[in-house]
Amino acid sequence: MKKFILFILILTISGCHTKQIIDYKELMKDNEYVIIDVRTLEEYNESHIVGAINIPYDQIDNNVDLDKEKIILVYCKSGNRSGIAAKMLTNLDYKVYDLGAFAKIDLPKEI
């Protein structure tokens, strides 16, 4: 019982949450999406998903001008910045999905 209580306490303190798993290829089938690379321009220039635009996560604010009718897909190097960007864009009333880490995304990439 003590181990169970300790486990619950650790989960609570660590802020454990589950990440929604999405089928991004299904979302992309109608061509009504925009892919945003929220890494730095330098990271984007090294390699990025084909067709992605670069808007670093720390430049997302009320002045971002995207089509609210389209699905927004965001990614970064590890998933941390894309999570922040997804929350910011969601708060701006965009329909956003976080693709997470660049290396794990199975889409064509430009090098």
pLDDT tens-digit profile, the chain (111 residues): 555 454 444 444 434 333 445 577 777 777 789 999 999 999 999 999 999 999 999 999 989 999 999 999 999 999 999 999 999 999 999 999 999 999 999 999 998
pLDDT of residue 55: 97
**In angstroms, rounded to a whole number, what is the distance separating the alpha carbons of residues 38 and 52?**
10
Give domain limits for the chain: 22-110
How far apart are alpha carbons 81 and 9 in whole angstroms? 27
CA distance 62 to 59: 10
- CA-to-CA distance for 20 and 18, rounded, in angstroms? 6
Answer yes or no: 76 catalytic. Answer: yes
Q: Select which of 35, 73, 74, 76 is catalytic.
A: 76
- Position 1 scores a pLDDT of 56
- What does the pLDDT read at residue 30? 77
The DSSP output letter for 2 is H
Residue found by looking up tokens 């960007």 in the block: 85
> What would be the CATH architecture of the domain defined by 22-110?
3-Layer(aba) Sandwich (3.40)
